[in-house]
Structures are given as C-alpha cells and as structure tokens.
Amino acid sequence: MSLEAIAAIIAGGLVSGSLYALMASGLSLVWGTVRMLNLAHGALVMVGAYSAWYFSNRGGLAKALQPIGKSIVENAEGSGALGGLLLPLGEWILSIRGGFGLVIGVPFAVLCCGLVGYIMYVLLVKPFVGKPGADLVVIITTLAGASFMQNGVQVIFGPRYKQLDRILKGPPLQVLETAIGLQEVLIIIMTPVALLLLHFFLKYSKHGLAIRAVAQNDDFAHLVGINVSQIYPLTFVVSSILAGLCGVMLGGLFFILPTMGAQELLFAFVVVVFGGLGSLPGTIIGAYVIGFIRETSAYVFSLYWAPVVLFATLILVLIFRPRGLMGGEES
C-alpha cells in the first residue's frame, strides 16, 4: 500500500467516522435514556440537510420571499408613513436574492431539527411511554414518522436533488500527496468540537447530568426530584440536533435528496451495537473504527464489499464481546 493510499484511507476514515459519530451518538443517547430505538433518526439527518438548504440557498426561503419584497416596494410609495417604514424591509428582502448563506442556514437547520425532534417525541413516542411493549410500538411509529418526513419533503421540495453551498471555498489541501477537500477538513475538525460540546453538556450542565441520571437509574432519578417526563423530550431534542448537524455536513459533501440518511442510519446502528448500546464513549470510538474499516475495505476490496466486511467485523466482535466494545455489564 502506497503512502498516498494510506493518507487517503485515513482522511476518508476520519470523514466517515465523524459522520457516524454524530449520528450514532444521538441514537445511543436516546437508547440509553429512553430505552427506545428511533428509526426516524435517519430522516432527521435529511431534515437537517433540507432545512440548511432552505434557509441558506438562493432557491429556498430567499426566493419564496421575493414576491413579498417586490409588492412591499411597489405599494410603499403611495401609502404614506407606514410605507416609509416598510420600504427598507422590502428593499432588504430584495437584496437577499442570493440566499441567506450558511451562517444563517446552519443555526436555523439545527433549531429546525430540535423542533422536529420535539414534535416527533410528542406525537410518536410520548403516547406509548410506560405502556407494555412500548419499545416495539415505537420502532413502528418512528418508522412511520420517517416515511412521512421523507415523502413530505418530496412533496414540498420536489424530487430534484439539492446542493448546499460550500462553506470554505478554495483548492483542496495537499496532505502526503493526497488531495483532501476543504469540506472534508471542516467535517474532520468540527465533529470533535461538537462531540466535546456534547460531553461538556452531559458532564457539567444540570440538564445534561439529569439525562445521564435517568439513563443510569430512572427510579433513583425520580427520588432526587428529576422530572423524568421532561428529560425524555430533552434527550430527543439533543439527539435530533446531532442528527441535524450530521445532515448539514453530509449535505455539503453529497447531493441532498429525500431518502438520504437511510444508509447512514444503518451504519449508525452498526456503530451503536459495535461500540456497546448506550455507551457514548464506546459509540464514538466505534464510529471511527467502523469508518476506518469501511474505507480500508473499500480500498482493498471495493466499495460494494465494504458493508459485507463491516457486518462480518460486527458479528466477529459480538461473538467475543456480546455487549459490544465498551458495553457495560448487566445492571
């Protein structure tokens, strides 16, 4: 294997590992705390990408606002004081014809995903919490939710692929004779930052501590006065934000389409099981390990064999460590 190939595998592994880590950590968080599998998690990645596109791109919200801006400007002249007030607003709307840009788009996408995650919890999960067989029911309801979101997005935005603007423009970086795109570099750097923020949230904030407390012992969590029924939706919101971030990054690499996120969800499940269900450090380490295995097998065999190698590794690991890489003992 040449040095160039090794560098390409490392870069590719870091990128896929980052995307899996963002996605799987949310999945793992919900599993650990609410004890449910969220099959709409992949659709949230898609929602993140679409909302980032809608708020940033010239074809999204900015375009939808143009007729309003035009009519404000046209009607402003004849309508006195009120028109004078509205005129700058109309002119401003017309001036943003090129889109709001990603600086606005990404935060709005994150907000949007948090909101969708909350709505999803209220509609698809909350009615079943505490009922017998809830974990199975929720698999079905979230699957239904995913289907609803995918088709809803197709109806609203049409089947044509979208593309996010690049955040960093410029020639790719040359590392060890391999070209790494700036978008990839951004993903490699921003993911650990996001995961570090997640760590600080879970370790030092009151609500983060409460999420971990409910995950570890919900009975005792009740007894120290944690409102467990509020912690569940909070966990969904945090997890959805992580999925949204993953979507924003994915949208910068590939085309955005309604079915995106589905394959990532599958890999995220592999990562979560591989790393140990409910263990966040295990999930993150697992994500990068799986990322590297995928890239290596794609290089050595071919891209089509990568999933086969992945699942074979997973089965092998589970034979020797049934609870995954860092899954704790039965509690």
Partner 1 sequence: MLFQVEGLVSGYGKIDVVRSLSLHVDEGEHVGLFGPNGHGKTTLLRTVSGLIRAKAGKISFRGEDISNFDARAIVERGLIHVPQGNQLFPQMTVQENLTLGAYVRRTDSRKASNFEKVFALFPRLEERRSQQARTLSGGERQMLSIGVGLMGMPELLILDEPSVGLAPLIKEELARAIAEIASTGVTMIVVDQDVELLLGICERLYLIEKGAVSLETADVSQIDQAEILEMYFGKVS
Q: Which residues sit at the interface with partner 1, rule CB under 8 A? A: 206, 209-210, 212-213, 216-217, 219-227, 328, 331
Q: Which tokens belong to 67?
A: 């007729």
Q: From the CB of 62, what's the least distance to partner 1, in Å?
A: 44
Q: From the CB of 211, what's the least distance to partner 1, in Å?
A: 11
Q: From the CB of 199, what's the least distance to partner 1, in Å?
A: 14
Q: Which tokens belong to 42?
A: 């992949």
Q: Which is nearer to partner 1, 238 or 290 (CB)?
A: 238
| Local structure of residue 178 (DSSP, 8 states) | E
Q: Which is nearer to partner 1, 79 or 230 (CB)?
A: 230
**Long-range contacts made by residues 83-91, C-beta under 8 angstroms, separation at least 24?**
none
Q: Which tokens belong to 280?
A: 């966040």
Q: Which tokens belong to 300?
A: 């050595």
Measured CA to CA, the distance from residue 104 to residue 312 in angstroms comes to 42
Q: From the CB of 220, what's the least distance to partner 1, in Å?
A: 4
- CB distance 117 to 240 below 8 Å: yes
Measured CA to CA, the distance from residue 317 to residue 288 in angstroms comes to 15
Instruction: Find, among 187, 272, 244, the residue nearest to 11 by Cα.
Output: 187
Q: Which is nearer to partner 1, 36 or 210 (CB)?
A: 210
Q: Which is nearer to partner 1, 116 or 213 (CB)?
A: 213
The amino acid present at 168, given as its one-letter code, is: L
Measured CA to CA, the distance from residue 171 to residue 41 in angstroms comes to 34
Q: Which is nearer to partner 1, 231 or 306 (CB)?
A: 231
Q: From the CB of 191, what's the least distance to partner 1, in Å?
A: 24
Q: Which is nearer to partner 1, 2 or 229 (CB)?
A: 229
Q: From the CB of 136, what's the least distance to partner 1, in Å?
A: 21
